[in-house]
């Protein structure tokens, strides 16, 4: 299963993955499996990706089921990467309201591994500390807002994620203990010196890092840095993004994709999935 809040890089990953396995431009550990039914949405997003544009955001209220079936050629084993590409900040809402769609419960119950997304392009958790909050409170001698007022959406991202992940252990989910592959997306935006995704996580999201390392619901953890887009792009309607020209010069397009982490080969974002499926030793 795929797990991650809005803007964490899930759809772009799916678009790049589909291009990679559909085009067969470069060898990959897992190849495209059998697909039935309607996969227009996958084709649409991978089309935008190939043209060097950002994937379009899921329209409000529209839920796109993304299922990518992958095949391990040597063993004949198959795996499915599945997620509800939910709009309307469903997970963030779930943190505040404690409600989530029933379909999501099914997805969690059936999951045997998790691809967890976190974007390197998010700044707001870095900056504010409890000391800043104290200072602000002292300055505002007369509190303008009710001191008991709490806005869940303003809770730090790592607090929200740890809470949501913890919920998966309890009814109605009761997720099986599973392997987790954390994808730090938009890895191209991380400064060059910061080459290790594990260190990146420990520095920026220490609470989440501790939870992932110690939760009984997590059998095993791996951390990857992934640039699925390769650089900064923009939506088609907004014209070419800053890195579009450079990215289009990379041929074949699959080579725009970059991944760092344990047991990887350049460009191959099926590697985390191979590990999740327990097939790594089979190659
Ligand atoms: N620079 C860069 N930006 C990315 C990358 N992957 C995703 N993004 C951007 O991050 C934003 C959120 O991505 P999206 O895939 O829509 O996230 P989702 O809401 O989790 O599906 C979009 O503006 C993407 O263009 C990447 O590899 N590099
Ligand atoms: Mg999306």
CA of 202 to the centre of ligand 1 (A): 22
pLDDT at 282: 64
Higher-pLDDT residue of 115, 133: 115
pLDDT for residue 239 is more than 80:
yes
pLDDT at 91: 79
Verify whether ligand 1 is closer than 6 Å to residue 45 (CB atom).
no
pLDDT at 196: 92
DSSP-assigned letter for residue 98? S
pLDDT for residue 146 is more than 60:
yes
pLDDT for residue 142 is more than 90:
no
Verify whether ligand 1 is closer than 6 Å to residue 10 (CB atom).
yes
CA of 84 to the centre of ligand 2 (A): 9
pLDDT for residue 283 is more than 90:
no
Q: Do strands 113-119 and 178-185 pair parallel, antiparallel, or not at all (unpaired)?
A: parallel
CA of 55 to the centre of ligand 2 (A): 8
Verify whether ligand 1 is closer than 6 Å to residue 9 (CB atom).
yes
> Which ligand is closest in space to the CA of residue 9?
1
pLDDT at 129: 67
pLDDT for residue 88 is more than 60:
no
| Encoded tokens for 197 | 């995704």
Helices (H), the chain: 10-23, 40-51, 90-97, 102-110, 124-127, 130-139, 157-167, 197-204, 206-214, 244-248, 271-276
For the CA of 12, the closest atom of ligand 1 is 15
- Transcribe 23-73 into DSSP letters: H--S--SSEE----S--HHHHHHHHHHHHT-PPPPPPTT--EEEEEEEEET
pLDDT for residue 103 is more than 80:
yes
pLDDT for residue 265 is more than 50:
yes
The mean pLDDT of 70-91, rounded to a whole number, is 82
Q: Which residues make Cβ contacts (< 8 Å) with residue 242, sequence separation at least 6?
A: 231, 232, 233, 234
The mean pLDDT of 246-259, rounded to a whole number, is 98
pLDDT for residue 236 is more than 50:
yes
pLDDT for residue 60 is more than 70:
no
From the options 2.60.40, 2.40.10, 3.40.50, 1.10.3470, give the CATH code of 2-140+149-282: 3.40.50
CA of 250 to the centre of ligand 2 (A): 25
What mean pLDDT value characterizes the chain?
89
Verify whether ligand 1 is closer than 6 Å to residue 87 (CB atom).
no
Residue of the nearest CA to atom 25 in ligand 1?
Answer: 54
The mean pLDDT of 2-17, rounded to a whole number, is 92
Q: Of all residues in the chain, what percent carry a pLDDT higher than 70?
A: 89
pLDDT at 6: 86
Maximum average pLDDT range among 34-38, 87-91, 207-211: 207-211
Residue ranges per structural domain of the chain: 2-140+149-282
Strand order through the sheet with 178-185? 2-3, 113-119, 178-185, 218-227, 258-260
Verify whether ligand 1 is closer than 6 Å to residue 204 (CB atom).
no
Verify whether ligand 1 is closer than 6 Å to residue 58 (CB atom).
no
The mean pLDDT of 128-149, rounded to a whole number, is 71
pLDDT for residue 61 is more than 50:
no
Residue of the nearest CA to atom 26 in ligand 1?
Answer: 186
Maximum average pLDDT range among 68-77, 133-142, 150-159: 68-77
Verify whether ligand 1 is closer than 6 Å to residue 46 (CB atom).
no
Residue of the nearest CA to atom 4 in ligand 1?
Answer: 186
CA of 12 to the centre of ligand 2 (A): 7
The mean pLDDT of 85-109, rounded to a whole number, is 80
Q: Which helix (H) or strand (E) holds 119?
A: strand 113-119
Which of 2, 5, 9, 240 gets mutated to test ligand 1 (max ligand atoms within 8 A of its CB)?
9
Q: What is the pLDDT of residues 44-59, one digit of tens each?
A: 999 999 999 999 876 6
């Amino acid at each position: 299963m795929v797990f991650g809040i809005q803007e964490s890089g899930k759809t772009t990953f799916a678009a790049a993955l589909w291009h990679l396995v559909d085009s067969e431009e470069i060898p990959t550990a897992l190849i495209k499996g059998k697909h039935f039914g309607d996969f227009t949405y996958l084709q649409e997003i991978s089309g935008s990706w190939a043209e060097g544009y950002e994937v379009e955001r899921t329209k409000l209220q529209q839920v796109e089921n993304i299922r990518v079936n992958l095949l391990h050629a040597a063993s004949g084993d198959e795996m499915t990467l599945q997620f509800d590409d939910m709009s309307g900040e469903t997970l963030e809402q779930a943190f505040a309201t404690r409600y989530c769609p029933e379909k999501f419960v099914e997805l969690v119950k059936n999951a045997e591994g998790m691809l967890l997304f976190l974007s390197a392009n998010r700044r707001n958790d870095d900056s504010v500390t409890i000391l800043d909050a104290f200072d602000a409170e002292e300055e505002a001698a007369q509190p303008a807002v009710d001191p008991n007022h709490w806005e869940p959406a303003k809770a730090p991202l790592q607090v929200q994620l740890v809470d949501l992940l913890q919920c998966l252990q309890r009814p109605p989910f009761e997720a099986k203990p599973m392997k987790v592959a954390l994808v730090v997306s938009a890895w191209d935006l991380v400064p060059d010196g910061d080459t290790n995704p594990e260190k990146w996580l420990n520095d920026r999201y220490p609470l989440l890092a501790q939870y992932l390392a110690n939760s009984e619901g997590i059998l095993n953890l791996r951390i990857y840095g992934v640039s699925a887009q390769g650089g900064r792009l923009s939506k088609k309607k907004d014209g070419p993004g800053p890195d579009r020209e450079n990215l289009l010069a990379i041929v074949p397009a699959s080579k725009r994709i970059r991944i760092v982490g344990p047991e990887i080969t350049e460009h191959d974002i099926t590697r985390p999935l191979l590990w999740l499926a327990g097939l790594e030793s089979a190659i």
